[in-house]
Amino acid sequence: MMLTCQEFLRNPDRYVRLGARPPRGVLLVGLPGTGKTLLAKAVAGEADVPFISCSASEFVELYVGMGASRVRDLFARAKKEAPSIIFIDEIDAVAKTRDGKFHIVSNDEREQTLNQLLTEMDGFDSNSAVIVLGATNRADVLDPALRRPGRFDRVVTVETPDRIGRESILKVHVSKKELPLAKDVYIGDIASMTTGFTGADLANLVNEAALLAGRKNKVVVEKIDFIEAVERSIAGIEKKTAKLQGCEKGVVARHEAGHAVVGTSVANLLPGQPRVQKLSILPRSGGALGFTYIPPTNEDRYLLFIDELRGRLVTLLGGRAAEEIVYSGRVSTGALDDIRRATDMAYKAIAEYGLSPTIGPVSISTLSNGGMDESGGSVPWGRDQGQLVDLVQKEVKALLQSALEVALSIVRINRTVVEGLGAQLEEKEKVEGEELQKWLRLVVAPTELAIFMEGKQQTLLPLQTDS
């Protein structure tokens, strides 16, 4: 789509002679840092036309009418310099839906500005070589009138880059900074470790690696510097002075050892799964007291199979299971984040992915809203909605309880490994490499894990209810 815009601005006759009209607007939608603004600038540069850039917040003023006046001036300038590109960043600041959901009243300045924007986009001549690019990370709140054909004809989703894209982005930043790299640095390996990173994240990663090398007075940036930079991006910065003391150190060490042992047990049953590479009990700036590093897979993944999802649930609860077994049922609050993430994953599995045999392939949010409504409105589902919520909660609790029971069985059968690895981690604060793998090679997977990952364990274990 972006190439079509470039070609039209460069050679409009190629399309006009066939009766094709130019696209009026292109909406760029993506997470912050994915490069929406850079993409718009690149289109203008490739097309070699004037690029008129502004932020939607510039249209919002205290005095009514000022925003609409600025929109008129902007489009008048663009038509005068046509062919040209108008780029409106964070367009959701003035283009929120007008159904009252976002508290926009009839005399609101934002609504007048939006109306003027809609009018200007409709007022283009059929041969007007002006294209409007809008960028937002909140496409769900935009007014439907803005997205109809004839205004923003196209929606381009700017996603996080894949491995090839990340490698290309890293090469750009490395060459731009003229980073002296050590011989052990291969950009492809760094790209494989950064699944899910945006362009802004990758730029920060290169800078962080250079800073780490500079602090150690190195003359080149080594692979270890990039690995530490990735860990900082994922888990936060290690606190060198704030170290765990006393019994807390032992609890966190066994907790992380539990994650490693359970994660290894799961990986033994799922071919191609990444293995635990590092354990640490040095507190980090994100609030984590420990860190179990499992690198992403070598290939970008877009789907998650049900057995992999169940394996992740068990791995997340491995830390709590280790505490319960090692300390005879006495558990700590250290599993807060693990439980939060596991609950979110279990809820999505049942309410969104349709993986519950009891509820079936049903989207709970769509069902409770009375179906999908393009205008953003929803219809109450009725008195049975409460029963539906109760059923989902029971299913989520049953799934999580089953995952915890399986994690407990893994820790029981590998208790020697958990306690031995935990003791070594408590002493050294970091365990990695061959020292870690020596322990993890002793891990075995119990039958209960295989049954659970096949989707049968939930029906075998009784649902525990609150007394």
CA dihedral 276, 397, 301, 406 (to 10 degrees): 40
- The backbone torsions φ and ψ at residue 430, rounded to the nearest 5 degrees and listed phi first, read -140, 135
CB 94 within 8 A of CB 55: no
**Amino acid letter for position 356:** S
What's the token pair of residue 266?
A: 């799961």
* Distance, CA of 156 to CA of 36 (rounded, Å): 10
* Distance, CA of 321 to CA of 370 (rounded, Å): 40
What separation in angstroms does the CA of 311 have from each of 99, 204, 222, 464?
43, 32, 34, 21
Buried b / exposed e over 138-155, threshold 16 CB at 10 Å, is ebeebbebbbeeebbbbe
Residue entry with tokens 């704030």: 242
CB 352 within 8 A of CB 365: yes
Q: Which residues are catalytic?
A: 256
Q: Where are the alpha helices (DSSP H) in 334-467?
A: 336-351, 364-368, 385-413, 415-428, 433-440, 447-453, 457-460
Residue entry with tokens 């990340």: 166
Going by C-alpha positions, the residue among 147, 205, 461, 120 that lies closest to residue 314 is: 461
CA atoms within 13 A on the CB side of 107: 3
CB 57 within 8 A of CB 67: no
Q: Where are the alpha helices (DSSP H) in 280-384?
A: 306-316, 318-326, 336-351, 364-368
